[in-house]
Amino acid sequence: MGAASPHLARLGRVSRPAGSAAAADARAYCDDVLRGLGFATTECAFEYSAFVGECATPLAGLLIVPFAGALALAPRSPNVAVIAVLVLLIVKIVASLATRRGVLHLPFARRRGVNLEAVRGIQEPRVWLVAHIDSKWQPVAMLTRVGGVVVSATSLIALILLALTRAALPATVTWAFFALACVGAVPLMLSYVDSRNHGTVDNASGVAAVLEAAAVIPSSARVGVLITDAEELALAGARAWARSRAATVALNCDSVDDTGSLVVMYTGSRPARLLSLLEGAASSDKQPLRVLRLIPGILTDHVALADAGWETVTLSRGDLRTLQRIHTSRDSLAYMNGTGIASAAQVLARTATELG
């Protein structure tokens, strides 16, 4: 299938695991394109721990089984439920620290990544266009993993509520929720990282959209471009880069499929100003735009930037079939040609120009 976007054809033809020669080659291509557009580029090296990105999700899946089992073996016990809630809170705090800080500071599984930063002129950009260059393969699609997170979380909450309320229900109900928690944990256990796909939609398409947007943004606009590395490993590149910059505005672009409507996702407080500008830009291009809070089980670079105080969102295009391909061997040029990239780039460019 011929690609409608030359950038997608160039970037989306091979796997680009973080730290690989293919990722470096793709970054060099982006460097050439951005320099040709008048940007001054800088490679920003960083170090990180791959442990969180490679092991955290499978470990979470493994821990769900004994946790759910303990709740099922002690049904209708408020004390067990209270302890379970405390354990979940502790796990949440530890997981948050591991994700926000551990990915950069844990002393094992250390690796080196490189972000590409591009600016025009001497003034600091008011807004950054962001997309990650790396890709990853997993045995389960993103949609399956999201389903696993939802099913496991719902089942654990149900088990805790049964214990707290001492509900007079048959034991089969308790064990049914235990079974559901275990079923939901399986996709998480299987979420180990490999490099058997090309990462065409995730995220050669997002990088292509950013490069196309950069080509039409006026040179006078204070807009920078950031191509991150190791996003697929707990957002390591964005977290490292955010430490070196004062928080401002970032429009992240991740996974722009041929089908489906444009989707803008956010985390934390609703960024009303950005959403209004994006909706206006999409309307000008006669593009339907859906606004969603970030779906559980999905991480994008805007999460790392939001954690650092940035005003930020992620723009995507797709539907459930897109989520069924992401992180699988079907994420390749054989399944898309980039017809949705130009319109996404226009929305990014109009919004960034107004902000910049």
The full set of domain ranges for the chain reads: 6-50+110-139+195-355, 63-98+153-189
Q: How far is CA 109 from CA 105, 174, 207, in A?
A: 10, 39, 27
pTM, full prediction: 0.94
CB neighbourhood size of 117 (10 A) = 21
CATH of domain 6-50+110-139+195-355: 3.40.630.10
The answer to whether the beta carbons of residues 317 and 256 sit under 8 Å apart is: yes
User: Distance from CA of residue 355 to its chain's centroid?
Assistant: 23
Residue 180: strand, helix, or coil: helix
The answer to whether 96 touches 307, Cβ cutoff 8 Å, is: no
Using CA atoms, how far apart are residues 131 and 242, in angstroms rounded to an integer? 14
SS3 sequence of 328-353: CCCCCHHHCCCCCHHHHHHHHHHHHH
Closest CA to 48 of 18, 20, 21: 18
Distance CA 92, CA 172 (A): 29
Q: What share of the chain is helix, strand, coil (3-state, %, to 5)?
A: 50, 15, 30
| DSSP states of 65-127 | HHHHHHHHHSTT-HHHHHHHHHHHHHHHHHHHHIIIIIHHH-SSSEEEEEEEEEE-SSSPPSE
Mutual angle of helices 21-36 and 205-216, in 10-degree steps:
10
The closest alpha carbon to 203, from 54, 339, 316, 342, belongs to: 316
Rg (CA), the chain: 21
CB 137 within 8 A of CB 193: yes
Sequential pLDDT tens for the chain (356 residues): 457 899 999 999 999 999 999 999 999 999 999 999 999 999 999 999 999 999 999 999 999 999 999 888 876 677 777 888 888 888 778 778 777 889 999 999 999 999 999 999 999 999 999 999 999 999 999 999 999 999 999 999 999 888 888 777 888 999 999 999 999 999 999 999 999 899 999 999 999 999 999 999 999 999 999 999 999 999 999 999 999 899 999 999 999 999 999 999 999 999 999 999 999 999 998 999 999 999 888 999 999 999 999 999 999 999 999 999 999 999 999 999 999 999 999 999 999 999 99
